Chain A
């Protein structure tokens, strides 16, 4: 009977072995992931009593922690210019956080492994543990310009500005916004929670960063992608397609003007972009075929899954269409095409950067409380969307949009320099049109690429969105 007992003993030992391995896995290897899990409120509750690092734009602290004082050992999170930066910073509240406050929480609260050494030294020297400071790439002027633009217009929407050569996010504003100070109070907790609930329930969705997490039909701004596919396929800006007043794509699809684009003759690619011709661009998409169109959209970043900048960015979609009617509509950014404003800014930035789309990033650097750098951004190429030659052709075509005799986006032009742009007026199933403008400037030495969308503006991209884009570009260039 000893043999089965020995086996039973080994089996019992194996049971404990499983438990030991599993607990090692949980507490040793998985611990960080679990600590930062989205359901885990500990990470935010416990750090209410810690000096949290600041979030900076330039040298200005836009989010920082102050001791509450009195008997409390808690810290109050304060937001400078809260409404302006809320789409980026998010809010740090008891039990939860959003935006950068969430995405960089482990660095801000000092629990990240990279801070272990300095934390250890602080413990030894008796200094208070303090989280790291996160410096954003955001340009204060550009962000302010975006907010002012939307405030004057009084419409919902979003603006995203990128540095085309690095991918740094210069502005990310979403309208309407909210003030994080209203929801972050650690002394008036019930009021803060009430405010949060009403923000969550609001139909205006102030908590949503539309620039990164809302998808809109990109409308005519997508024609840049279609034109890219055509040029990459060996065509030139002078290549033509039929451009009648309307095309029969299941249902008739008209030009905005209800007129043929070139008096009834086939229209050149350059002219089609300048006046934003629908029928010729739809013909281009059908002519190129679903495969080439999808390939080109993928190269700009569509269909590549969601990614983090480190804020989570929703995936933009360009489904491969087998039906020519839908394929034609997709060529002008309708049909099943859906893009985030950030995605369309990446399209503009890719053209501006000689065809290379840079990976967008929002955090310039993270510095420890003693100012030693923990990490800093290193620009990476996201993808090569088009060749440099194609990019140059596209730039010239996009300059015509803001300067040409029949340009559709004259509102985006800036005195004293050339601006490359593209308007968009996207039809929606649920109300007035969305109005887009994507652009970069100066055209010969791009410093900023912008995408602006005015939600259900009901006007045209050139009149509603282009002026906001212009303000943002000027803010960056004139600095």
Chain B
């Protein structure tokens, strides 16, 4: 199965990649220097370590790509380096620069970055043909489900900030949903490529009078949608309170079924079922309600918890939850304004738990609108380059796979930053490459490795016949 690809010019631009990567490393180190000078009046004492480890590994990654995936998109690595570096610099500013590393540290993040880059290299090196993953859709499906269910096992699972999405491994904790989503994309790509015809063709027309309104899929073809829906709603929303992952997985599912079938009826059915379930559950799932109220009425005094309600044990914020984090995040963004306070010049600590989802508000405060626009554009570019890879690939599985991962990156960004900036309710997710935490970082680099490999294969010029005599050809590989 294949389809005419949208050709990309067969250029490597590896030197451009090196220069851009060096710029990204430079931005990271300058951000740390500025934070150190502003906060403590001295250069970061460990700047050298960061320069060598982070800078050195990024450059090594570049040379690795130069040898093992020479045709891959030259923008991917610099964008990832920039985002990862900004995240590192901000964590250094939040923890090391303030002398308080109880909530996390940039050094841990640096080590995790290094480990993630190694995994990145391993995948790029060994997974020469990502289409081989197509062979194991059901293994992928089962592992995705197992990974998602892991936190529910008593003793192993942990609840952090209300969401049961962590697994305690003793020495460290993992967020298995970060990996489950990749497995799910692989499964969906494989499954939908095989079931594509049935999903897109078999249908029932819904007519009002003579006018065709919708092509409805047959009830029996709804099974995958029903399973996905049931899983997202029952397990993720009700049992685990993990709205972010639920929203992310279901949207990715819808995006991929749309890519496979090109039928908008799937999206309509899916959205109706999802939001219908949310509406129906609204009165019964309290944490769901709390999130809606803290979003819509964030500035209500009893939701925000002003002094007058702080001492009232009956008030909304004392019984259910408050909107302090969201509102303080908005204040931080407002404080940053257009140009920001400069690294180290703001007070991001005013936002509770700023090192997690709300790290975006710290960027907004210290780098300003200009800085977060750069960050958003880098993320957008990353997702769009991924879509470009999907367009340029020949095989359907790779098209599905690449577009699925790209959409995952884009939507994950939307869910978390949209939550922080009050576009949608806060659900809890991580900004790709930027967020603190090993699971998030590792899964981001795995996705990058997959995109890198697929882009290399898509952009590599077609094999040339080196001789043209008779039926047998020797192909240059």
| B384 x A12 contact (CB < 8 A) | yes
Beta-carbon contacts under 8 Å, B367-423 to A: 368-369, 372-373, 376-377, 379-380, 383-384, 387-388, 390-391, 396, 399-400, 403, 406-407, 410-411, 413-414, 417-418, 421-423
| A22 x B334 contact (CB < 8 A) | no
CB distance from A137 to the nearest CB of B (A): 31
| B334 x A30 contact (CB < 8 A) | yes
Beta-carbon contacts under 8 Å, A13-41 to B: 13, 15-16, 18-20, 22-24, 26-28, 30-35, 37, 39-40
User: How many angstroms from the CA of A9 to the CA of B390 in the assembled complex?
Assistant: 10
Residue in contact with A4 in the complex, picked from B258, B299, B337, B422, CB distance below 8 Å: B258
Q: Any chain B CB within 8 A of the CB of A3?
A: yes
Could you count the A-B residue pairs with CB atoms below 8 Å apart for me: how many are there?
A: 131
Instruction: List chain A residues, Cβ under 8 A from B406.
Output: 9, 12
Residue in contact with B421 in the complex, picked from A1, A23, A32, CB distance below 8 Å: A23
Instruction: List chain A residues, Cβ under 8 A from B338.
Output: 27-28, 31
Q: Any chain A CB within 8 A of the CB of B333?
A: yes
Instruction: List chain B residues, Cβ under 8 A from A35.
Output: 331, 334-335
Residue in contact with A23 in the complex, picked from B260, B364, B379, B414, CB distance below 8 Å: B364
| A12 x B379 contact (CB < 8 A) | no
Residue in contact with B331 in the complex, picked from A12, A19, A37, CB distance below 8 Å: A37
**Chain A, Cβ-Cβ closest to B372:** A23
User: How many angstroms from the CA of A1 to the CA of B399 in the assembled complex?
Assistant: 8
Instruction: List chain B residues, Cβ under 8 A from A23.
Output: 333, 364, 369, 372-373, 376, 417, 421
| A13 x B380 contact (CB < 8 A) | yes
How many of B's residues come within 8 Å of A, CB to CB? 51
| A1 x B387 contact (CB < 8 A) | no
Given contact pairs A13-B384, A27-B369, A19 touches B418 in the complex (Cβ within 8 A)? yes
User: How many angstroms from the CA of A20 to the CA of B330 in the assembled complex?
Assistant: 15
CB distance from A396 to the nearest CB of B (A): 49
Q: Any chain B CB within 8 A of the CB of A42?
A: yes
Q: Any chain A CB within 8 A of the CB of B78?
A: no
Given contact pairs A16-B410, A19-B376, A27-B336, A8 touches B255 in the complex (Cβ within 8 A)? yes
Beta-carbon contacts under 8 Å, B297-342 to A: 299, 304, 306, 327, 330-331, 333-338
User: How many angstroms from the CA of A45 to the CA of B335 in the assembled complex?
Assistant: 13
Q: Any chain A CB within 8 A of the CB of B281?
A: no
| B369 x A19 contact (CB < 8 A) | no
**Chain B, Cβ-Cβ closest to A6:** B391
Residue in contact with A27 in the complex, picked from B6, B334, B384, CB distance below 8 Å: B334
Residue in contact with A24 in the complex, picked from B304, B369, B396, CB distance below 8 Å: B369
Given contact pairs A8-B259, A12-B407, A19-B417, A42 touches B3 in the complex (Cβ within 8 A)? no
Contact with B along A187-205 (1 / 0, CB 8 A): 0000000000000000000
User: How many angstroms from the CA of A35 to the CA of B388 in the assembled complex?
Assistant: 41
Instruction: List chain A residues, Cβ under 8 A from B101.
Output: none
Q: Any chain A CB within 8 A of the CB of B279?
A: no
| B376 x A27 contact (CB < 8 A) | no
Q: Any chain A CB within 8 A of the CB of B194?
A: no
Residue in contact with A22 in the complex, picked from B262, B347, B390, B421, CB distance below 8 Å: B421
Q: Any chain A CB within 8 A of the CB of B203?
A: no
Q: Any chain A CB within 8 A of the CB of B350?
A: yes
**Chain A, Cβ-Cβ closest to B2:** A1
9 residue pairs bridging A and B, Cβ less than 8 Å apart: A1-B396, A6-B387, A13-B380, A16-B383, A16-B413, A22-B423, A23-B373, A27-B333, A27-B368
